[in-house]
Chains A and B, each alone.
Chain A
Amino acid sequence: DIQMTQSPSSLSASVGDRVTITCRASQSIRSYLNWYQQKPGKAPKLLIHAASSLQSGVSSRFSGSGSGTDFTLTISSLQPEDFATYYCQQSYITPHTFGQGTKLEIK
């Protein structure tokens, strides 16, 4: 299985901050990397697919980059509704695997 490792595991930030979350794959996954946001008691919500494609309806504050093994999710200016847990997921090969999550908390 491809292992997905996110860093940091948790992050404290303030409204208006620029935040970057990193995801590393244990082998190359080309650009088959997706990002999700999950709030407590809710299903994950797709933000970015194919490493850098913004899902329809998602704020342009969110952006993704990377290819191969190293990827980043950037939130350009944190809003109160952005405090949540973020997951990366590879869809290059089955079994599809997820990172362990990054919990973004209010400072």
Chain B
Amino acid sequence: QVQLQESGPGLVKPSETLSLTCTVTGGSISSYYWSWIRQSPGKGLEWIGYIFYSGSTNYNPSLKSRVTISVDTSKNQFSLKLSSVTAADTAVYYCARDYPYFDSWGQGTLVTVSS
């Protein structure tokens, strides 16, 4: 059973870059798509984007100009960078396996944007 775990700072200052990493255990990151999803009270569940183990990506157009998702197959990890954050980016961020349904999720990590 694959397991995912998000890690990264829980507090980010406005205008800075949010950086999170998802570590996959219990299975290989290869041969699957991997997504980032966030959840805030104001906007519900929002898909941010996915990456294939080969490195190809697909981003939500609403965030595309600020998002970068990357993968490190040697570490069985994939990462999210979201630039120029504002208070509206405050949310719980989840990583998930995209199959294309989300069948495995991390526990989620709360990221607060505040000075």
A residues neighboring B (CB under 8 Å)? 1, 32, 34, 36, 42-46, 49-50, 55, 87, 89, 91, 94-98, 100-101
Given the contacts A43-B94, A43-B107, A43-B108, A95 and B47 also touching, CB distance less than 8 Å = yes
Residues of B contacting A36 with CB < 8 Å?
Answer: 102
With beta carbons under 8 angstroms apart, the residue of A87, A89, A94 that contacts B58 is A94
- Taking a contact as CB atoms under 8 Å apart, the answer to whether A98 and B44 are in contact is yes
What does DSSP make chain A's interface, helix, strand, loop or mixed? loop
Given the contacts A43-B94, A96-B47, A98-B47, A91 and B101 also touching, CB distance less than 8 Å = yes
B residues neighboring A (CB under 8 Å)? 35, 44-47, 50, 58, 60-62, 94, 96, 98-103, 105-108
Residues of B contacting A98 with CB < 8 Å?
Answer: 44-47
Residues of A contacting B35 with CB < 8 Å?
Answer: 96
Distance in angstroms between the alpha carbons of A66 and B100 in the assembled complex: 18
With beta carbons under 8 angstroms apart, the residue of A46, A87, A94, A101 that contacts B103 is A46
Jot down 15 A-B pairs with beta carbons below 8 A, ordered by A.
Answer: A32-B100, A34-B101, A42-B107, A43-B94, A43-B106, A44-B102, A46-B102, A49-B99, A87-B44, A87-B45, A89-B101, A91-B100, A94-B50, A97-B47, A101-B44
Nearest-neighbour CB distance to chain A for B39, whole angstroms, equals: 9
Residues of A contacting B102 with CB < 8 Å?
Answer: 34, 36, 44, 46, 89
Q: Please give 15 more A-B residue pairs, beta carbons under 8 A apart, in addition to A43-B107, A50-B101.
A: A1-B61, A43-B106, A46-B102, A49-B99, A49-B101, A55-B103, A87-B44, A87-B45, A94-B47, A95-B60, A95-B62, A96-B100, A98-B45, A100-B44, A101-B45
Nearest-neighbour CB distance to chain A for B83, whole angstroms, equals: 19
Nearest-neighbour CB distance to chain B for A94, whole angstroms, equals: 5
Distance in angstroms between the alpha carbons of A95 and B59 in the assembled complex: 7
